[in-house]
Amino acid sequence: MRLKDKVALITGAGSGIGRESALLFSAEGAKVVVVDVVDAAGNETVSMIGKNGGEACYVHADVSKAADCENMVKVAEQSFGKLNVLFNNAGIMHGDDDNAMTTEEKVWDLTMNVNLKGVFLGCKYGIPALQRAGGGSIINTASFVALLGAATPQIAYTASKGGVLAMTRELAMIHARQNIRVNALCPGPLRTKLLMDFLNTEAKKQRRLVHIPMGRFGEAKEMAQAALFLASDESSYMTGASFVVDGGITAAYVTPE
């Protein structure tokens, strides 16, 4: 078991990448702290883990609020005694996020508060717990759009994920000698509710698909497998990396026939 005796905290674990990662991490031996703002979804993830013989607890947290992030880490240590893996995965893709001219300031602020500030706050309170545990792994969910401009305008989302990459690199350097590794997971376009709600017309979906060499959207389970590698000791010589899992989109100059 690749995460035996480890404790993992995953934000946004009520759906998508977060839920699939919670289920997989548990199957690989971890005790999981499931964090979300949607209580029913988060508790459902905990129930699914329990039915599979795993151990998990749920914490309600809005990652844009310092008190909530401090509490989720506190609950992890109180419930399971330590924290070894911090997966800052929670994020939003606002339906009104568009180009710089039309995107409202409130949409920009909300996106930054959740996607970027949320990662900062997770690390602010999570890193001391990792230090107390003797080290560990931090995974921050970024995106391929942190590396490439998006074909469908989403200026706030793109900027927030670029910030996640920059923050990941700095955190990795600061904590490299403390046995704390910090890496960013950069998914390509996924068949998740988050993206499908944003690409809400067939034309929008096709505009994104035409750029993916593999010709399909990725699946949340595929991202969970990548996150498992970053969480496990198998990636022990990786830190400050942008781990790109994108169906080839960032490697493509033109899409193959």
**Catalytic residue set:** 157
- Residues with Cβ within 8 Å of residue 107, at least 6 apart in sequence: 94, 96, 97, 156
Distances (CA, A) of 172 to 166, 238, 241: 10, 10, 9
What does the block give as tokens for 35?
């964090």
What gap in Å lies between CA 148 and CA 152, rounded to an integer?
12
Side-chain-facing half-sphere of 16: CA atoms under 13 Å: 23
In terms of Cβ atoms closer than 10 Å to its own Cβ (0-12, 13-18, 19+), residue 124 is middle
Q: Could you tell me which of 104, 98, 192, 95 has the C-alpha nearest to residue 141?
A: 192
What gap in Å lies between CA 52 and CA 20, rounded to an integer?
13
